[in-house]
Amino acid sequence: MVFSSLTFLCVFLPVVFLLALAIRNIRWQNVMLMVASLLFYAYGEPAYVVLMIVISVMSYVFGRAIGATEVPSRRKLYAGIAILVALACLGIFKYGEWFTGMLGQLIGESMAIAGIALPVGISFYTFQAISYIIDVYRRDVPPQRNLLHVVLYISFFPQLIAGPIIRYHDVDQQLAHRTITWEGVSVGLKRFIVGLAKKVLIADVLAVAVDAIFGAELGDVTAPAAWLAAFAYLLQIYFDFSAYSDMAIGIARMFGFTYLENFNYPFTSTSIQEFWRKWHISLSTWFREYLYIPLGGNRKGRPRTVFNKFMIFFCCGLWHGAAWTFVVWGLIHGFFLLLEEYLPIRKLPKPVGWVYAMLVVMLAFVLFRADTFEQGLHFLSQMFVGWGPLTSEAQVLLMGQLTPLFLFTLVLGAIGSFPWLPKLKERLATLSVPAQRRADALASVACLGLLVLCLVTLAGGAYSPFIYFRF
């Protein structure tokens, strides 16, 4: 079940929300939300819901064990076992086939494990389980005595499938103490509708052209088509992923939870360092807190710092998928991030810095989107050398994507990726109270219109899962 499906919008979410309103006791509300979250996951992954429950119970048990002893070696042992179990589950299901396939190639024998389906959202909920274990080990939070709270933290349906990655210490108190308010419901619902519109009206429209070009014969992909696909995908992945984050944050707010932001207009960045402060913030924060700092951060000399940062971005790329395209994508970002530390790139004029950062991000995303490493390299080479005369097939491929709807959406996406709306809100805040009320009423009407438009579009459209579902 996806947020942009009519089943979720018209049945699941309204029913669960009404039940939450009816159940005032926080304990029983948590029980209901846990059951609803497990049903939400089981709707698409009936077998693997057991895996998520096992990881949740394992985290709870080892969290209690860590809290029950003051012996440092035992605390470290329990934490290590729990983290290794979570990573083993992630490794087997996500990387088992890839690793054994590469090992088979090295020894000249067929060893690939075939037929292992990737559980949806496993990269996200295993990282949340690890967050709980480490937070307890560091004594940032006490070990949770209520198994229900741990299961709900890991399985809560808004962030379950595609994040954001919620650190346990950020929601520990909210699991036991929160209130559903009409202000929270209003803010959350508007946020959800905006996210839904970003997905349905922008990302899904751009996806048609991107999929067509990346799915074409390599010989038909020339420079214009490659650049068009690269730019369209840059906007598609932003509006697709930020849409899910908006919807997750909005739904959580409706139920009384407050999640931290996951995106902050990353396409305004003038460096790769700034980009990663604004893109998938929950993931970069997780790696910084739970891997980079434990490795020593920048406290153990330049060589160790370089190694630590490359390790972070290697893991970041690998986290996204079992393919060299993702690994190289991560290493590209790591390389330029280090380059900015030792060269005066960040001192460039802002327009030049912006062009540099966006070019690196867009070109790297070509590899991220490519089905194979060879396809990605072909697209990148064509972007710079494929400017010759177009064949009839190349013309059909290119012109077939340049529909009025696509071009309008492309321009709308480019404009919408910049912070015009927050600036408008700041200006509205300076108006008189009656003017602000009129603006709020207009915003509510606009959100209602967007919701209707999205529902009409979904009723007549095809299924389009979120990009980050496969991670």
Report the catalytic residues. Answer: 320
- Total count of residues recorded for the chain: 471
* Residues 55/126, Cβ–Cβ less than 8 Å: yes
CA separation for the pair 381, 388 (Å, rounded) = 13
Q: Is 110 exposed, middle or buried (0-12, 13-18, 19+ CB in 10 A)?
A: exposed
- Give CA angle at 186 (170, 261), nearest 5°: 30
Closest CA to 191 of 132, 249, 272: 249
CA separation for the pair 44, 161 (Å, rounded) = 11
Closest CA to 370 of 230, 180, 192: 230
Cβ within 8 Å of residue 279, ≥6 positions away: 263, 266, 269
- 50-70 core/surface letters (b: 16 or more CB in 10 A; e: else): ebbeebbebbbebbbbbbeee
Task: Specify the long-range contacts of residues 204-208, CB closer than 8 Å, at least 24 apart.
Answer: 204/4, 204/461, 204/464, 205/405, 205/406, 205/409, 206/232, 206/233, 206/235, 206/236, 206/239, 206/406, 206/409, 206/410, 206/413, 207/236, 207/240, 207/464, 208/401, 208/406
Tokens of 239: 């509006």
* Residues 134/290, Cβ–Cβ less than 8 Å: yes
Cβ within 8 Å of residue 415, ≥6 positions away: none
Distances from the Cα of 360 to the Cαs of 205, 346, 348, in angstroms?
24, 14, 15
The residue type at 344: P
